[in-house]
Structure 1
Amino acid sequence: MNQEEFLQVSGLEKVPVYWDRRYTKNLDQLSKPIYTVKLEEDVEVILRDGTKTYVDVYHPAEIEKAPSLIAYSAYSKKMQRMRHGSLPGASNYFDHSLEAGDMEFFVSRGYTFIVPDGRGIGRSEGEYLGVYNPQEQEDVYDYIEWAATQCPWSTEKVALEGYSYFGIIQALAAALQPPHLVCIMPLSYTDDYYQHGYYGGVADTYMNMYWELCPSNNPVPWTTKMMSEEEMKKRIEEVQEDPDIAINTYFSKIFNVWPPKYHTFYLDYLLHPQEDDFWRPRSMKYKYDKINVPVYFKCGWAPTGRWSAPVFNAMNSPELKTYKRCGVMEGYNGMELPYRFMNEEMLRWYDYWMKGIDTGIIDEPPMKLNILGRGYRYEYEYPLARTCWKKLYLHTFGNLRWEPVVEGSLPPDSFTHRPPHITTEVESLTYRTDRLSRPTEFTGPIELHLWASIDATDANFIVKLWQITPGGTRMPVCRTGSLKASYPLDKEKSQIGRPVHDYTKRIPVAPGEIREYVIEINPIGMVFPAGSQIELEIKAMDNFLPQSGAWQAKMDHLGPIPSANTVNYKIYRDKDYPSYILMPYIPETPGELWLQPIVEDDIVIGGSGGGNTH
């Protein structure tokens, strides 16, 4: 089949780079774009407690009934239909909340598409209680059942759809087991919401952005539902005593408003610095046994944030017993919104479960990975059974080598963190390999075993992995791995490449004590070309501030909240204290695992869409 024949038979506008001719079938039966879109705006939906909310309904005008897709977030329904071309992150008009998906694509193919303004959002009544809160999860249940049982256009089949916020909420709502939910497809996902914001226990200003993304008319912190007014005021006072928090005027603005109405979700975030009952109801890792519908998890190899590890956790979970599959489909090229990269894969998924069309999607192996620098392939497990775990040791003179250090009692390397209220400089240590002699693949989880001492009772470790291209360009591989030193390692729960820490308690570090820290680094899947190098960077903070000197929105770019104290770090790397990165080396891959393009003369350039999400 050539490209012209494929487009004619399938009714699609492009040839998906992630489809395989061996598994894609019945293209002539795929839903075709033959309908026009009819919009019903501000349809009233009364939630179970009587709260009046509004949804926008996009329906195929030429048919009475259609299966429904619900795209839910607190990002505002009206803006989801704004169209000004696909915008990359570099555009000044890029808005990361434009993530409901491509409603025209699906409605023209015979799906009803529903986008709510949840309680407290837009014109909807009620209190907005923050991202993924338990009330919101129940509300999504109500929208599902409303769409299935109270709407004249319904076939009583409902699925959830969307990216990032729209994706994460799907599994949480599915765990409540709404009777008419047929399937879900989270296009971006996390199962540990504490680590989503406190990666490795290190606080981050990442959550700060939700203030501008969620247009709430009545924001209320969830903490007010957890404790009395007196208890909450006491908690606020305690958190403000943290030196790292006390130095920041942005935080002071949030704390000193009563009743708390300013930046309410980030207030919640700061009031719960350890994993507790605020975070657990938002974390799918405690609820996998509750999901009973088919699920397709999707993510990209994430240069920032903790996005791909949760997808693999879900695939490995013995509690998640329903049909499940995943795709790590994107690379680092930067996402464009409105999001369309997965339209064709979503159509195969929804057509199969919602319309009974055998698209071949459940015949594929359970994991489909875009190996950067090589292409798409299938896998059956994670980590890969054929992984050869290789230790890349830290050496003197900033070297990374596969051979361990043979000498002991070597003086350590060191750097000093100075807080950002006295300097803009960020000190770090870097370690780099020799140039690779041949293309080398690393696919799987990564962890850093770091022997270190600090001259304080606590400190932040921030680690990054870089590729130095043959031409000398420094490219991010994994820009995020972090750990707060006081959180203990849980050796019994830890697995190779996947360290687990207890984030419910802090155990102060003895200043000057040399101890081993095991730090998770984001999983990768890529081939390093011959002539490239691997570089490890270790620091105490990350400076995301724009170099232009502009003052706007510096909090959004602060990243990990740095220590307000000067802290000296000593990094040991010798025979007595062998610091190393555990790398998932893949020596070879059977040819049958690589995707076979569905179009014989298809030319794939890059094969990646984007992977930077929130």
Structure 2
Amino acid sequence: MESKSFKEVTGLDRIPVYWDKRYTKNLENLSKPIYTVELIENVPIVLKDGTTLYTDIYKPKEVQKAPALLAWSAYGKTMQAMKRGSLPGSSNYFDHSLEAGDIDFFVTRGYTFVIPDPRGIGVSEGEFSGVYNPQEQHDCYEVIEWLGTECPYTNDKVSMIGYSYFGIIQMLVAALNPPHLTCIMPLSYTDDYYQHGYCGGVGNTYMSMYWELCPSNNPTPWSLKMYGEEGLKERMKKANEDPDIAIISYFNKIFNTWPAKYHTFLLDYLIHPEDGEFWAQRSAKEIYDKVNVPVYLKCGWAPTGRWSAPVFNAMNSDNLNVFKRCGVMESYGGMELPYRFMNEECLRWYDHFMKGIDTGMMDEPRFKLNIIGRGYRYENEYPLERTAWKKLYLRTFHQMRWESDPEDNLPPDSFTHRPPNITNEVESLTYRTDRFSVPTEFTGPVELHLFASIDAEDANIHVKLWQITPGGTRMPLCRTGSLKMSHELDKEESKIGRPAHDHTKRVKVAPGIIKEYVIEVNPMGMVFPPGSSLELEIKAMDNFEHQDKAWQGKLGHLGPIPSANTINYKIYRDKEYPSYILMPFIPSTKQEQWLQPFDNTTSFGTSGSGSTH
């Protein structure tokens, strides 16, 4: 059998680090880059209500019709094709809305890439009523069906593609069951949009970014459709009476503009601080039972944002009863936009379901996890059955140990939150383990059980985990773990590593009373090397290192919205009040679970499957 190079067999320039030679097959049949890209701009699509959307269509020039990849977001269609290289988040030109994907990669391989301007965005007609609103979901349904039946450049196979916004919208639209939708592949995803915006019930100025990211030509708050003018005005008035909101001038502008055309989505966001219908309309967890197409969910071990937990929730949901796969892929520094890291995995997925090429997707185990510090491996469930749950107890002198304190009545630790209108200082408490003596793996969900009291009727708690390297560098591990203390624990709905709270109402905290608070922390998957340690940080608000250097636009860097009051926190950690963080310790893993990559010892023959010498 004649041996060929990987590129000769696959048409790909690189061997993906996340491919396993045991499962990736028929490589010679993968779509090859043999076409040239042709752009047809501003193609009109007339919706059933008469509104015209305009879309850019990138097609393979040499064929009339090809399977369609629909990239849908309110970020604007034209800029998705800008040529300036992939940019990391550290670049001053980084733009998080460049998330449609690698157009040329897929079009040259025989796919038609479709990017519309949604209703009220860019050059399209109509009103833009905020991200993921029900009207947008139905509009996307209509565009899918237009592509599958009327578009002169596409056949009857349609899928969706893209990162973040482009990923989150996919499950919501799939639940509407457009007949020509073949599969979906959300590359970044959330299933609970309330928790995405109010993690643990705590508001976050992260949501303010949509004003600059969504080029709306006719913005209207969705709340105007829900409540009418008088109802909206009343909710705006009530929201602006919240002392945490009223102190921030950025918000004051929104509540004192009428007609309500200024930053309409942030307005919708701020007047819905508790969970309810507004958030359910945008939350995929509500409609899993209606989805009937194959789903590939991708995330990373997110140091910020609540991105990995929703993927695991979807994979574990019995209501999402479809063929589904999960990839926890690149780690902290892996994201660049336009996003290309998953190109080859996307190609396998789309070729399999849209072109009928058996690429081995059906054969792989359900979970593919990138364990930081070790590499990729497969798992069949999450949390892992072999998890040995271990409690790391908070102790005196800022220590964490595997044993609880043997003594009662120890004085608590404490810190005081002071709001940003009187100081830039942010107090916190930290607790650190001894250095690990052997490689130590923690993979799975994490939760903090914290005995605390406050001298107020409500407050916020924020939790961060850090890896302390053998050389002493402090590396972010999990920087999202938040709770509004007035949102009570729902013990019946809680699962290990996934504490559930009633976010529909606030129950005032009794000042001075010691209470156990259970806080969800981002999942992790990491092997800690010998000489490293784990640090827990507890605070009442966040502070970003670059904040001092930014003289304008500080709101988007603020993170969780802080309390406007000075609040003292007392943290208890003795025999009677054993505060601890529950860690998913993994004692061992079978060798065959680790990914077997293609490498320099792999030869490629005409069959397309790799073989080793």
TM over 0.5: yes
Say whether residues 1:124 and 2:124 are aligned partners. Answer: yes
Cα 1:303–1:283 change in 2 (3 A) is same
3-state SS in 1 of match to 2:227: coil
3-state SS in 2 of match to 1:330: coil
3-state SS in 2 of match to 1:503: coil
Partner of 1:268: 268
> d(CA) in 2 for partners of 1:223 and 1:3?
63
Cα 1:128–1:546 change in 2 (3 A) is same
1:128-527 aligned at under 5 Å gives the runs 128-527=128-527
Partner of 1:563: 563
AA aligned to 2:341 is F
AA aligned to 2:387 is T
3-state SS in 1 of match to 2:571: strand
Cα 1:358–1:444 change in 2 (3 A) is same
Report if aligned partners of 1:454, 1:570 keep a CA contact under 8 Å in 2.
yes
Partner of 2:98: 98
Report if aligned partners of 2:547, 2:554 keep a CA contact under 8 Å in 1.
no
Structure 1 residue 546: deviation in Å? 2.1
> d(CA) in 1 for partners of 2:13 and 2:340?
11
Report if aligned partners of 1:89, 1:334 keep a CA contact under 8 Å in 2.
no
Q: Per-residue CA shift, 1:353-391, capped at 9, x if unaligned?
A: 000000011110010000000000000000000000000
Report if aligned partners of 2:147, 2:155 keep a CA contact under 8 Å in 1.
no
Partner of 2:582: 582
Cα 1:321–1:230 change in 2 (3 A) is same
AA aligned to 1:461 is I
Structure 1 residue 228: deviation in Å? 2.1
Q: Per-residue CA shift, 1:142-193, capped at 9, x if unaligned?
A: 1100101001222201000000000000000000000000000000000000
3-state SS in 2 of match to 1:282: coil
3-state SS in 2 of match to 1:227: helix
> d(CA) in 2 for partners of 1:443 and 1:315?
16
Report if aligned partners of 2:547, 2:557 keep a CA contact under 8 Å in 1.
no
In structure 1, stretches of 5+ residues that fail to align are: 603-614
> d(CA) in 2 for partners of 1:212 and 1:564?
26
Partner of 2:65: 65
> d(CA) in 2 for partners of 1:334 and 1:569?
37
3-state SS in 2 of match to 1:32: coil
Report if aligned partners of 1:545, 1:558 keep a CA contact under 8 Å in 2.
no
AA aligned to 1:431 is Y
Structure 1 residue 599: deviation in Å? 2.5
Q: Per-residue CA shift, 1:437-492, capped at 9, x if unaligned?
A: 01100000000000000000000000000000000000011011000000010000
> d(CA) in 2 for partners of 1:601 and 1:282?
48
Structure 1 residue 549: deviation in Å? 3.2
Structure 1 residue 550: deviation in Å? 2.8
Report if aligned partners of 1:441, 1:526 keep a CA contact under 8 Å in 2.
yes
Report if aligned partners of 2:190, 2:310 keep a CA contact under 8 Å in 1.
yes
> d(CA) in 2 for partners of 1:601 and 1:224?
63
Partner of 1:86: 86
> d(CA) in 2 for partners of 1:332 and 1:123?
36
3-state SS in 1 of match to 2:173: helix
AA aligned to 1:61 is K
> d(CA) in 2 for partners of 1:547 and 1:110?
46
Partner of 1:540: 540
3-state SS in 1 of match to 2:54: strand
AA aligned to 2:567 is V
AA aligned to 2:480 is T
AA aligned to 1:572 is Y
Structure 1 residue 598: deviation in Å? 1.9
Q: Per-residue CA shift, 1:505-551, capped at 9, x if unaligned?
A: 11000000100000000000010110001000000000126255331
> d(CA) in 1 for partners of 2:242 and 2:97?
32
> d(CA) in 1 for partners of 2:200 and 2:168?
20
> d(CA) in 2 for partners of 1:249 and 1:213?
21
> d(CA) in 2 for partners of 1:453 and 1:48?
56
Q: Per-residue CA shift, 1:239-284, capped at 9, x if unaligned?
A: 1111101111110011110010000000000000000111001001
Among all aligned residue pairs of Structure 1 and Structure 2, give the percentage whose two residues are the same amino acid. Answer: 72
AA aligned to 1:447 is E
Partner of 2:592: 592
Cα 1:531–1:4 change in 2 (3 A) is farther
Partner of 1:24: 24
Structure 1 residue 331: deviation in Å? 0.3
> d(CA) in 1 for partners of 2:544 and 2:125?
37
Report if aligned partners of 2:441, 2:585 keep a CA contact under 8 Å in 1.
yes
AA aligned to 1:304 is T
3-state SS in 1 of match to 2:346: helix
> d(CA) in 2 for partners of 1:171 and 1:433?
41
Structure 1 residue 3: deviation in Å? 11
> d(CA) in 1 for partners of 2:453 and 2:601?
57
Structure 1 residue 600: deviation in Å? 4.0
Partner of 1:608: none
Report if aligned partners of 1:6, 1:599 keep a CA contact under 8 Å in 2.
no
Structure 1 residue 339: deviation in Å? 0.6
Could you tell which deviates more after superposition, 118-127 or 539-548? 539-548
TM-score, normalization by structure 1: 0.97
> d(CA) in 2 for partners of 1:64 and 1:229?
49
Report if aligned partners of 1:451, 1:578 keep a CA contact under 8 Å in 2.
yes
Structure 1 residue 335: deviation in Å? 1.3
> d(CA) in 2 for partners of 1:213 and 1:228?
26
3-state SS in 2 of match to 1:127: coil
Partner of 2:607: none
Report if aligned partners of 1:431, 1:536 keep a CA contact under 8 Å in 2.
yes
